[in-house]
Structure 1
């Protein structure tokens, strides 16, 4: 029985990885570079492994074997449909992962390339097109038997309603607390409430049965979209993937894009990307309602205030004040965007949001 390492430094040392993990792949003579490390309750790490003939990505994952089987199922499904995703490589014993000291490691080929540039219009369009292909090709997806049941498909209206009520609770707490955070919260409350009300109103008209379903990446952002030297697009890090409402992926992508300074709630850019996605993967009226609901809701304002009042006695108040102020920097742009995109979508897609 192997003895558990005494510290994370030991766990993630080059000697430890070579001795306990890489020898399963006959790669113990390779060089190791630690690319990413997250010191959370469940440590996560990514290494670049360079042998004489090739480079690989070694990842210490944070989920169990049943969940890994689901991720593996999704990777295999998409690869067979022509979507470039990293494939899990076999150990010399024919296994898809190494389990050691209660930790699970997987190895994939290293993808040489550069991440999607959100200031490059071609990159953005190709990324949205690829997302549409991912969704279209996985409508009938089913995981390998024994996989974790990674299915979302939760009511977004109920979720938004809970968030809306949290905002009202935070308002009451701010009124009674009267500290600096509370004052900033109250100064910006009415504008954020407008967004929350609009989001909730549109969400109430979503028909869950009409929403498109597929494999969803779960973290479809620039760092997980790579372009190789031949300009092929690769989609990496499907650790959060699940079978869910497809439009959530697009909403997540657009919300990240639209909050940037250079693309700050750019209405014409958003509409052009929506057309690109719709051309390759037809959007239903409820898909569009979900998307506008998703982009409209004041997510950061809601979450920061909820977390602050929940942990008010032990949090770093200065840090929370900074986060709250930052969350409102683009508030007027978001309000104008929401006011303008609703009639544009209604006219272009002949629907009522």
Structure 2
């Protein structure tokens, strides 16, 4: 009850009912349906996310889950040690990755979001979230981890389980894929693309997947949950979206082409961006 009382007091609303829903809370209030979310990071990062959403909205990318401000003008409520955000509840269905029309409008929407993200100036007291220039290091770190895990399994003196045996059989294949991804990335204009992204002051959603893409009855696409957004090359969002779709569509190349063609119809990728995209797709991030 303490939490509900503080949310009501700080956001000046009256909560009629509260119901858990997929990691957030659905609130019925005297001011309509709202989404309450507990945040697991600090206020400086939250201000970065808040600023990113506001920048998108001011740039004409309107269909997002903007935060409400509390009575002190902050986009969050502090309840003891916990941080909560409040946004409008967005009605609609999740993007269907088995529906080609959904894939097309989601890909086009991603391109529009990337365009609208350009020129984002950080709010006061916020903390920049950025992965620009980090990917060669991240891939090198993963390659070293393959060797470390391989040695750990080999040193097991007791019985090796089926998982251990399968890991030893496959680890070199995925290590070589990682090396190929790294070589391709190093031979691309990755750092120049990072520089251009820094200059354009754009950002990525970083979790652009079905449950964060809400399509309403008018076929309007809404994007929610910007918790992971950060400065990043746009092909990261594209590769992440492609991987999440393709693993559900039997890795059929026609769906990759469908998505890329839809994205390119709004904001075409360059030849060098394709090289970086290929590296991201090649890298076995989930192994």
Change (3 A) 1:100 1:269: same
Change (3 A) 1:200 1:94: closer
Taking the aligned partners of 1:155 and 1:284, their CA distance within structure 2 comes to 21
Aligned to 1:280, the other structure's residue is in SS state coil
In the superposition, the TM-score normalised over structure 2's length comes to 0.89
Taking the aligned partners of 2:83 and 2:253, their CA distance within structure 1 comes to 44
Q: Which residue of 1 aligns with 2:251?
A: 265
Taking the aligned partners of 2:119 and 2:148, their CA distance within structure 1 comes to 41
Q: Which residue of 2 aligns with 1:209?
A: 192
**Structure 1 position 190, deviation (Å):** 4.2
Counting only pairs closer than 5 Å after superposition, residues 180-195 of structure 1 correspond to structure 2 as: 180=161, 181-195=163-177
Aligned to 2:232, the other structure's residue is in SS state strand
Q: Which residue of 2 aligns with 1:252?
A: 240
Residue 205 of structure 2 contacts residue 230 of structure 2 at CA under 8 Å; is this kept in 1? yes
Q: Which residue of 2 aligns with 1:101?
A: 80
**Structure 1 position 26, deviation (Å):** 3.5
Q: Which residue of 2 aligns with 1:130?
A: 109
Higher relative contact order (CA 8 A, sep 6+): 2
**Structure 1 position 94, deviation (Å):** 4.2
Taking the aligned partners of 2:229 and 2:251, their CA distance within structure 1 comes to 27
Q: Which residue of 2 aligns with 1:242?
A: 230
In the superposition, the TM-score normalised over structure 1's length comes to 0.73
Q: What is the aligned counterpart of 2:28 among 50, 61, 69?
A: 50
Aligned to 1:21, the other structure's residue is in SS state helix
Which segment is superposed worse, 142-151 or 113-122? 142-151
**Structure 1 position 141, deviation (Å):** 1.6
Question: Between Structure 1 and Structure 2, whose CA radius of gyration is higher?
Answer: 1
| Number of equivalences | 277
**Structure 1 position 237, deviation (Å):** 0.5
Q: Which residue of 1 aligns with 2:207?
A: 219
Q: What is the aligned counterpart of 1:159 among 138, 156, 159?
A: 138
Q: Which residue of 2 aligns with 1:17?
A: 3
**Structure 1 position 67, deviation (Å):** 1.2
Aligned to 1:299, the other structure's residue is in SS state coil
Residue 13 of structure 2 contacts residue 30 of structure 2 at CA under 8 Å; is this kept in 1? no
Taking the aligned partners of 1:93 and 1:197, their CA distance within structure 2 comes to 51
Q: Which residue of 2 aligns with 1:323?
A: none
Change (3 A) 1:91 1:169: closer
**Structure 1 position 236, deviation (Å):** 0.3
Which segment is superposed worse, 24-33 or 266-275? 24-33
